Amino acid sequence: MKAINGKLDMSKSYRLVDIEYHGKLDIGTAESCENCGQLISNIAIVKDSLDRTYRIGLDCMATITNMPASDIQQAKNIVNRKRRFIKELSYAEKVEVRNNTFWFYTRTEYDALMVRGRGDWSLYGNYIKSLNIPIQALA
């Protein structure tokens, strides 16, 4: 892994807390790495020993956390799954929500709606709302 000279102190210890994916980079959702300043869509959320939180790119995460290569690859796999899931959501024509779970539907070649997938509303709800897909709340 290449060394990245950035704003975060390399002599401190950092731990990975969470990973986010923000879809396509555009003016409204673009985010920059708090270490190197590059635009990122794959975001690692790390904390230092004083519990301060930083949002950085995966390359910077791999450099400053001293994580084993297998853990870094696992983190990248999580981001790839989230990216594929968000791509699937972009095909949705209808969303149903019940008990913090949502199901999304697409049209088949015979013009019928079929379930394409489901997920946790608290994780993806804001993204789904931004797509302007009809949302139906179920009891």
* pLDDT tens digits, one per residue of 4-63: 667 888 888 888 888 888 765 455 667 889 999 888 888 889 999 899 999 998 888 888
Distance CA 70, CA 51 (A): 25
Overall pTM surpassing 0.85 (yes/no): no
Mean pLDDT score of the chain: 84
